[in-house]
Structure 1
Amino acid sequence: MFSEFKNHINSNLPFLKKAKVLLAVSGGVDSIVLAYLCKFLGLDFAMAHCNFKLRGDESDNDEKYVFALAQKLNVEGFFQAFDTLNYAQENSLSTQMAARELRYNWFNDLSQQLEFDYILTAHHADDNLETFLINLSRGTGLEGLVGIPEINGNIVRPLLPFSRADIERYAVKECLGWREDASNASVKYLRNKIRHEVVPVLKGINPQLLQNFTKTITYLKESQSIVDDRLDEVLDIVVDSVDENCISFNIKELKKLSNTKAYLYQLLKAYNFTEWDDVYSLLDAQSGKQVFSTTHRLLKDRELLLLVDLSEESKDKILINNIEEQLEIENKMLSFSRVDEIDNNSQFSVFIDSDNIEFPLTLRKWQEGDYFFPFGMKGKKKLSKYFKDEKMSLVEKENVWLLCDASDAIVWLVGKRMDNRFRVKKTSKNILNITLR
């Protein structure tokens, strides 16, 4: 197996030979074999082991075994114990999902702190088949059927082409010891149930199951690449605009697609939506209707669907106590300075009579009923009417910040228009310049 592994690295993963890598080692036969293969190949690697404290002495003995292996191979070892059950309870996760989250969070922290280029895991072909069957049983799209990626960001799985039988035969031939996790024999978990009760039946029907499955995965990945290419073309057509807060999709162009619902799923699946019928119904909904995912919201605004990142939204008020302060607003800087004379007011730079304002100032988002006296005009105007006249979208309106004085009178629609009540007059003695850069 070593020669096949070496050929696979040279042909498909040559970058590993010059990289600094962190190898996840559980103590099972797959990770032990991967550790030896990396050593024999001369890779620059360290080992990382997680003790999830789920199996008492067995978990501690796994840690001792991996520690001894690190010394034997003369590589650096990192070891971390977790209170997995408590973490699962606090975060409302299953034990398996809690262990996975803890494991990868720690691996990524180690990689960033110690500058490892890649994290290696020992997933193999049987793991890939089991994942395929799990996704198939739960219902999935094409992305759930293409299997575990061999390279996913900084995660690399060099054993993915090899079967569990290949790995165990190599371990026995080379007299490599390993640890058996007793929980792997239990059919309590879905993966183990598929491993012990479903896969053996399928292999009994077709002994070439794993080889044929590998071919199928290859074909599915080729189909996925065609879909991705088509999506790139569609994005150029249906995306109306992109800015730091929002992606706008043109509903008219979306409806021209042969299967709009399928395209919507492909376009939006990365944003964690689950209620796809509700997403599709937005196309014909009234303006203002919206659907939320855990991370985003999708909003109908006339002839557009607006995709907004929830993490970018903030409704908090910000107090400004003096003119010495500088504030960052959505990657721009709001600053104040006293000046002796005025220049022309603009969208991003206004001059006000500071004798007319009382600190603290407040920076806030607009509310229904807000009004101001637009600079250069007589009389007041509701912001809702101003936004309509300016043909601003729902998201654009939501992202407008208002600079208000202590009485909550609007001084400036930041980056838009100042209020006429605070303009500089000939008699003004104290002039304040406020800029947004």
Structure 2
Amino acid sequence: MKNIYLEATENSVKYFIKKYYITNILLAISGGQDSIYLIKILETLKKKLSTSKLHISYIYIDHQWKKTSNKQIKHIINYVKSIKSNIIIYQINKIILSEDECRAYRYNIIIQHAIKYKFQLIITGHNATDKIETFIQNVIKGSGIESLSNLAIKSKTFPETFILRPLLKLDREMIYWICKKFYLPIWSDSTNYLYRIQRNRIRQELMPYIKKYLHTNIENNIKSLINNYHYQNEYIKQSVIKLYLKSRHTKRAAINYKKINTQNFILQIKIIQLFCFDNFQIYLENPKLIKIINKINVKSINLSKIMNYKHFNFFINKNWFYLSIKTQKKYIIYR
């Protein structure tokens, strides 16, 4: 059974490479079991696809969280050299303890590097266990349905750059077994046991407690829930886009709010959010969106200002909702 998962993962990467004519791949590695396993998959594919011009490069981001950072870098460099490949290493001089800040820095560096050197595909080592832990973190933060199901197997950052997460169907135990099977040199990362990192507390304390005292099948239940949320979110997004296209003005940056205020409350929020982002790249928080919806749901005929937001004013006039950009003395009104 485990060998079937092994072949399926390799075939999924192979299929993606062929489908999108990928020739340049950037693999983000950590030295842990996930990335070491991915190195094996890519190097195996490179040999199997010998007729193709497949260029693979590795990138490692050192956050300098621990005293053994230099030893881990040497370990990674030695392994990549042993397979006759190359690696790029970035060191973040500012030591950041926030997991969210580190993730933002890491993704920004990886994506900018990929764009600069024209990599078509970025591969990361996120697995099924990571997906469950991310879901729990987002629940704790009070995130919306789109954040609860946003770790997808593939996504697109820019028109020419994909992100692929081929291990999302494999849990940490399965990947560990595979690494042991092939005698892969896994680095034991001491930061996985730092309890000031929220993810580690979820992994080492919360999940074992739930499995022992509350529900032994919690991981599979969360996987099913994430899957359901994904399809619900896709349905909402499609409905929002259809309603937005029907309600927007043909010439002006405006939407007919009379066509919106009869819809479900969450659809109203999403349509206003899409309108603001589509026209002015503004992302409004829920409290401001709710304020706007409460205003436009009140019948009004005359020109009425709803609220201010940074350099913008929100207006309604007759059936239309639109924005104006603040200037020093006047407003530029998009009607």
Report the TM-score when normalising by structure 1: 0.63
How far does residue 394 in structure 1 lie from its aligned partner after superposition? Answer: 5.8
2:175 to 154, 162, 167: 167
Q: Using the alignment, how far apart are the partners of 1:14 and 1:208 within structure 2?
A: 37
Q: Partner residue of 1:140?
A: 143
Q: Using the alignment, how far apart are the partners of 1:11 and 1:200 within structure 2?
A: 36
The answer to whether structure 1 residue 18 and structure 2 residue 26 are counterparts is no
Give 1:215-364 correspondences, 5 Å limit: 215-241=224-250, 247-257=253-263, 259=264, 261-267=265-271, 268=273, 271-274=282-285, 275=287, 276-283=289-296, 284=298, 287-292=304-309, 297=312, 299-303=314-318, 304-307=320-323, 315=327
Q: Using the alignment, how far apart are the partners of 1:203 and 1:77 within structure 2?
A: 39
Larger Rg: 1
How far does residue 307 in structure 1 lie from its aligned partner after superposition? Answer: 4.9
Q: Secondary structure at the match of 2:56?
A: strand
Asked whether the equivalents of residues 153 and 168 of structure 2 are also in contact (C-alpha less than 8 Å), the reply is yes
Q: Using the alignment, how far apart are the partners of 1:74 and 1:16 within structure 2?
A: 26
Asked whether the equivalents of residues 111 and 117 of structure 1 are also in contact (C-alpha less than 8 Å), the reply is yes
Q: Partner residue of 1:55?
A: 66
The residue type equivalent to 2:39 in the other structure is: A
Asked whether the equivalents of residues 24 and 49 of structure 1 are also in contact (C-alpha less than 8 Å), the reply is yes
CA offsets 1:173-221 (integer angstroms, 9 cap, x no match): 2111122221211221222221112222333354444344333333322
The answer to whether structure 1 residue 103 and structure 2 residue 106 are counterparts is yes
Q: Compared with structure 1, are the counterparts of its residues 298 and 192 closer, same or farther at alpha carbon in structure 2 (3 Å cutoff)?
A: farther
Say which is worse superposed, 268-277 or 59-68, in terms of deviation.
268-277
Q: Using the alignment, how far apart are the partners of 2:73 and 2:148 within structure 1?
A: 34
Say which is worse superposed, 124-133 or 3-12, in terms of deviation.
3-12
Q: Compared with structure 1, are the counterparts of its residues 235 and 59 closer, same or farther at alpha carbon in structure 2 (3 Å cutoff)?
A: same
How far does residue 117 in structure 1 lie from its aligned partner after superposition? Answer: 0.3
The answer to whether structure 1 residue 72 and structure 2 residue 82 are counterparts is yes
Asked whether the equivalents of residues 292 and 306 of structure 2 are also in contact (C-alpha less than 8 Å), the reply is no
Asked whether the equivalents of residues 312 and 326 of structure 2 are also in contact (C-alpha less than 8 Å), the reply is no
Q: Secondary structure at the match of 2:305?
A: coil
Asked whether the equivalents of residues 288 and 394 of structure 1 are also in contact (C-alpha less than 8 Å), the reply is no
Of structures 1 and 2, the one scoring higher in RCO (CA 8 A, sep 6+) is 2
Q: Partner residue of 1:119?
A: 122
The residue type equivalent to 2:295 in the other structure is: L
CA offsets 1:315-337 (integer angstroms, 9 cap, x no match): 5xxxxxxxxxxxxxxxxxxxxxx
Asked whether the equivalents of residues 118 and 155 of structure 1 are also in contact (C-alpha less than 8 Å), the reply is yes
The residue type equivalent to 2:168 in the other structure is: L
How far does residue 10 in structure 1 lie from its aligned partner after superposition? Answer: 4.6
Q: Partner residue of 1:45?
A: 56
The answer to whether structure 1 residue 189 and structure 2 residue 197 are counterparts is yes
Q: Compared with structure 1, are the counterparts of its residues 9 and 208 closer, same or farther at alpha carbon in structure 2 (3 Å cutoff)?
A: farther
Asked whether the equivalents of residues 22 and 120 of structure 2 are also in contact (C-alpha less than 8 Å), the reply is no
Q: Secondary structure at the match of 2:195?
A: coil
Q: Using the alignment, how far apart are the partners of 2:14 and 2:224 within structure 1?
A: 21
Q: Using the alignment, how far apart are the partners of 1:307 and 1:75 within structure 2?
A: 53
Q: Partner residue of 1:32?
A: 36
Say which is worse superposed, 212-221 or 27-36, in terms of deviation.
212-221
Say which is worse superposed, 139-148 or 122-131, in terms of deviation.
139-148
Q: Secondary structure at the match of 1:289?
A: strand
How far does residue 299 in structure 1 lie from its aligned partner after superposition? Answer: 0.7
Q: Compared with structure 1, are the counterparts of its residues 106 and 394 closer, same or farther at alpha carbon in structure 2 (3 Å cutoff)?
A: closer
How far does residue 236 in structure 1 lie from its aligned partner after superposition? Answer: 2.4
Q: Partner residue of 1:396?
A: 334
Considering fraction of residues, name the structure with more helix.
2
Q: Using the alignment, how far apart are the partners of 1:76 and 1:37 within structure 2?
A: 16
**C-alpha RMSD of matched pairs (Å):** 2.8
Report the TM-score when normalising by structure 2: 0.80
Say which is worse superposed, 118-127 or 60-69, in terms of deviation.
60-69
The residue type equivalent to 1:192 in the other structure is: N
How far does residue 298 in structure 1 lie from its aligned partner after superposition? Answer: 6.0
Q: Using the alignment, how far apart are the partners of 1:187 and 1:297 within structure 2?
A: 43
Structure 1 unaligned regions, length at least 5: 89-93, 316-364, 369-392, 398-437
How far does residue 14 in structure 1 lie from its aligned partner after superposition? Answer: 4.7
Q: Partner residue of 2:210?
A: 202
Asked whether the equivalents of residues 269 and 290 of structure 2 are also in contact (C-alpha less than 8 Å), the reply is no
Considering fraction of residues, name the structure with more strand.
1
Q: Compared with structure 1, are the counterparts of its residues 251 and 124 closer, same or farther at alpha carbon in structure 2 (3 Å cutoff)?
A: same
How far does residue 152 in structure 1 lie from its aligned partner after superposition? Answer: 1.9
The residue type equivalent to 1:256 in the other structure is: T
